[in-house]
Chains A and B, each alone.
Chain A
């Protein structure tokens, strides 16, 4: 009974939270009342609380930036588009990261709408360059060496799970290269990608050496991890695992640099 009441209340509140009225940009309802029509996600600007369809506000945001880009291009021909966007990304100039609410012109920050930027074919600098990088890395991620590495990683993970969890990193550290790499999904951060690139380049004989270097550099992280984990007991396995997976990021970055030096 109580549960039902609560559920009802939550449902009511959710509905009451849906803004009434139309999106000021496309003039169609923010939240269609009839179930039949297509529902579009909407969002609120946190500086003034005006609501828009995500798609609409992003379209406008991209339009503004496309205009700005066009202006700066026509203004200074020596600047390539890439160069100028990189500059904008670095300096984070006020113009780039601020916008005005279309309704009240109140200034809002780009971070207000960042979470929905990917909804529309996006032209903003950061996601764009990320996309290009991802494309470049793709063949690498499907290469034989990478597949082998993944298989190895998975088998290790399996044995670890069979043995009752990943609680004893001490035993495995010295044995397995790459065991602390994140699961074999496409790398989420650029250091990881570069690291993989480095690995597939110096395949084979070099691997023991890599393992060694990784063990060395990550041992401090592990010690830390172990210290934290002590006294928690086995019940906290998932947490432990997250920590140990994230801790070695720093060592991996060092590794990248070494690989690059090797290339030079």
Chain B
């Protein structure tokens, strides 16, 4: 498990801390279906277990999402990646990076961890084949040393999956 690809980042701001605590409380009261938050004392990094939705290609598979929050969350988007092994999906690279616009350009501060999770599960569920993106090898080779997916210039072109 690649747990220590921790980007050196600043501590959460006061506003970010307040908001995350609130999100955590709400998650505990009403977690999104198919997700389990792994309890840690680290508010800045959440590890979330994803269970593939029944009736989809990923039914009963479990994966782990790692969500890292920047200093100015929720103005800035969190960094969301799948921990190894990442699901086989045309928009998920083998290093765990996820090509999903709301995580980058289309981020809005009104989104929450919970809404991100639902988007990702929806993306998994609508996949029709378990396979890597066509440019997987090239991309992963360029992303050595635990580079953040937020530094990638993503190209969002496929809205079918």
Instruction: Give the B-binding residues of A (Cβ under 8 A).
Output: 24-28, 59-60, 63, 100, 102-103, 105
Q: Which of B86-120 contact A (CB under 8 A)?
A: 108-110, 112
Query: Contact between B26 and A102 (Cβ–Cβ < 8 Å)?
Result: no
Query: Contact between B22 and A28 (Cβ–Cβ < 8 Å)?
Result: yes
Question: How many residues on B have C-beta within 8 angstroms of the other chain's C-beta atoms?
Answer: 13
Residue of A whose beta carbon sits closest to that of B22: A27
List, in ascending order, chain B residues with CB within 8 A of A60's CB: 75, 109
Instruction: Give the A-binding residues of B (Cβ under 8 A).
Output: 15, 18-19, 22-23, 26, 72, 74-75, 108-110, 112
A190 shortest CB reach to chain B, Å = 33
Query: Contact between A105 and B108 (Cβ–Cβ < 8 Å)?
Result: yes
B32 shortest CB reach to chain A, Å = 15
Contact check: which of A28, A59, A103 meets B110 at CB < 8 Å?
Answer: A103
Q: How far is the CA of A24 from the CA of B26 in the complex (A)?
A: 13
Residue of B whose beta carbon sits closest to that of A25: B109
List, in ascending order, chain A residues with CB within 8 A of B75's CB: 59-60, 63
Residue of A whose beta carbon sits closest to that of B74: A25
On whether A26 and B19 interact (CB within 8 A), knowing A59-B75, A60-B75, A63-B75, the answer reads: yes
Q: How far is the CA of A25 from the CA of B110 in the complex (A)?
A: 5
Q: How far is the CA of A254 from the CA of B103 in the complex (A)?
A: 56
A27, A28, A63, A103 pick with most chain B CB within 10 angstroms: A27
List, in ascending order, chain B residues with CB within 8 A of A103's CB: 108, 110
A1 shortest CB reach to chain B, Å = 45
